[in-house]
Amino acid sequence: MAAAVAPVGSLAHRAGIYGLLAGVLVAALAFVPGFAAATNLSNVVTQSAALGLVAIGQTFVIAGGLIDLSVGQLLGLSVVLTCALTEGRSDLLLPVLAAMVAMGIAVGVVHGALVNRFRIEPLILTFGTLSILQGLIFTYTDRSVGQAPSELVWLANGRLLGLPVAGAVLLAFAALAHLLLRRTRFGLRLLAIGGDADSARRAGVDVERIRLLAFVLSGVGATLAGLLIAGRLGTGYPNAGQGFELDAIVAAVLGGASLAGGRGTIAGTVAAVLLLGVISNILNLLEVSAFVQTFAKGLIVVGAIVATRARSGPGRFSVSALLAAGAARGNGR
């Protein structure tokens, strides 16, 4: 029996999240009625795009040994303000889009500044800002407000050459994020800080600036996701961001990030987001009740994390690797 189990464990170790995603897809295509329909597969991608943007932003902060619990409510505030300020007017979309990105940057800067200056635990700080942002939403409105412009609705729900536009948005954002995390000095320094912040500081890395930028990326990912959710819903629903913060953390960790910092991949995070989306879709197609779905998804996620925890993939990033990559040359700035 042990001999039979060993190859399975070894396979899970090598395949990781990508193997799990492929396995679930094959099983769903073979055994779940309606799953293979092109419309259904397109819907899975469309519905996963917003979580993907949030989870990518979360991957940056987790890779740096941080965490951001505020992203769900920041997304929700972006949804409400986008619809309320535009009221369906296309001419106001670009100014409002710029304002939402600026809001995400501002929240990230506040988080980074407070963590750096007062050494506040990010978990506690961002839990506090979660409450503040939720309070702002419900002070502004306790019901759906405004209307999303038609261009935003198309961006969130439309098709281009038969493919979901939201999926293209996620793919473009993921490609940029991958380059930023793996091909720039910022990304290498962030991973080194997550691995050992004190050693990175001694190597000349500006730890405070890198952490601040990680929070900024998390904030921008949340507000951009809010634009997609606004387009999907068509109106500013105040509870739109509920639960996104935990789903984003699960996706990042399931995709290979370590909550201790120093490890994370954008491709793994996107694969985990798609896995979560596929699982939700399967349960819906099988007409599983919402309460049982919550229980089942929890079991699946825990099992998947246990199965992939020792998987192959990049380990925690070290300062020696940073120096070898030449990212700490000069004054480290």
Structural contact between residues 205 and 193, judged by C-beta atoms closer than 8 angstroms? yes
Please give the DSSP secondary-structure letter assigned to residue 327.
T
Domains of the chain: 21-324 (1.10.3470)
Ramachandran sector of residue 196 (left: φ over 0; alpha: ψ -120 to 50; beta: rest): beta
Q: What is the pTM of this model?
A: 0.90
Buried b (16+ CB within 10 A) or exposed e, 270-283: bbbbbbbbbbbbbb
Distances (CA, A) of 247 to 52, 120, 279, 283, 298: 10, 24, 13, 17, 11
Is the pLDDT at 111 greater than 60? The verdict is yes
Strand positions, DSSP E, the chain: 159-160, 163-164
Structural contact between residues 72 and 218, judged by C-beta atoms closer than 8 angstroms? no
- The neighbouring-strand residues paired with 236 are 145
- How many H-runs (helices) and E-runs (strands) does the chain carry? 14, 2
Is the pLDDT at 132 greater than 80? The verdict is yes
Q: What average pLDDT does the structure give for the chain?
A: 89
| pLDDT for 5 | 37
| pLDDT for 298 | 78
Average pLDDT over residues 301-316: 60
**More confident call, 235 vs 327:** 235
Is the pLDDT at 314 greater than 80? The verdict is no
Structural contact between residues 231 and 156, judged by C-beta atoms closer than 8 angstroms? yes
**More confident call, 154 vs 326:** 154
State the burial class of residue 239 (Cβ atoms within 10 Å of its Cβ: 0-12, 13-18, 19+). Answer: middle
Query: What are 56-83's pLDDT values in tens digits?
Result: 999 999 999 999 999 999 999 999 999 9
Average pLDDT over residues 179-203: 96
